[in-house]
Amino acid sequence: MNSSTPPQSTLRRLLKRIEVPIDQDAHYKNDQWTNRDLIPMPPERRTYKIWSYFIYWCISGMCISAYTTGSTLLAFGLTPQQAIGAIVVGSLFVGLLSVACGWMGERHHIGFSVACRFTWGMRGSYFPIIVSTSTSIFFDGLQAYWGGQATTVTLGAIIPGLAHMNSTLAGGVLMTKDLIGMLTNDLVSEFSISSS
């Protein structure tokens, strides 16, 4: 670096590092309104096939909240037959709603953030994106908590001393074994995501 070039700040280096890349034959520029992720998806980047969607929905159903739905309905007083019926009807409703909401993306090859601009305007579209992001953060926190609880039970079955650990942290608010389970779950999740 020569002396006439000012050093880049840490923030500028970080922003440059996370910037969306520009295609070589791009007819757009990177700004807050347009980038590679916001333009309609060109045919060569449309790699999802029918099995991709099938696998996505199967994996989406394999989360802790899906596992606990039946027992939650039973705890609210439904019979097993009523719980199964409620889950089937609810799943069909959610499936139809998802297809209806995804029609615009399938037809025009645009994402949620661009579709929001039709209804909310350019600046107003930030609101549904913030709502969606907040919901995702809440859901991820819930999954992390439940995953930590499941990991605590699993580790407790392997290491009986952990299952019977009664020490607490934060003035008795947090059980040490729950923190160990949650951190273990988060590390394993992070490792499995980063290795794929």
> How high is the pLDDT of residue 125?
92
> Do residues 167 and 176 make contact, with C-beta atoms less than 8 angstroms apart?
yes
> How high is the pLDDT of residue 82?
96
> How high is the pLDDT of residue 50?
84
pLDDT, one tens digit per residue, over 36-73 is 888 888 888 888 888 888 888 888 777 777 888 889 99
Of residues 113 and 1, more confidently modeled: 113
> How high is the pLDDT of residue 96?
92
As a whole number of Å, the end-to-end CA separation of the chain is 37
Q: How far is CA 146 from the centre of its chain?
A: 15
What ranges do the domains of the chain cover?
Answer: 67-108, 134-196
The Cα 78–Cα 85 span in angstroms is 10
pLDDT, one tens digit per residue, over 97-124 is 988 888 888 888 888 888 899 889 999 9
Full-model pTM: 0.67
> Do residues 152 and 181 make contact, with C-beta atoms less than 8 angstroms apart?
yes
pLDDT, one tens digit per residue, over 116-174 is 998 899 999 999 999 999 999 998 888 888 889 999 999 999 999 998 888 888 888 88
> How high is the pLDDT of residue 196?
60
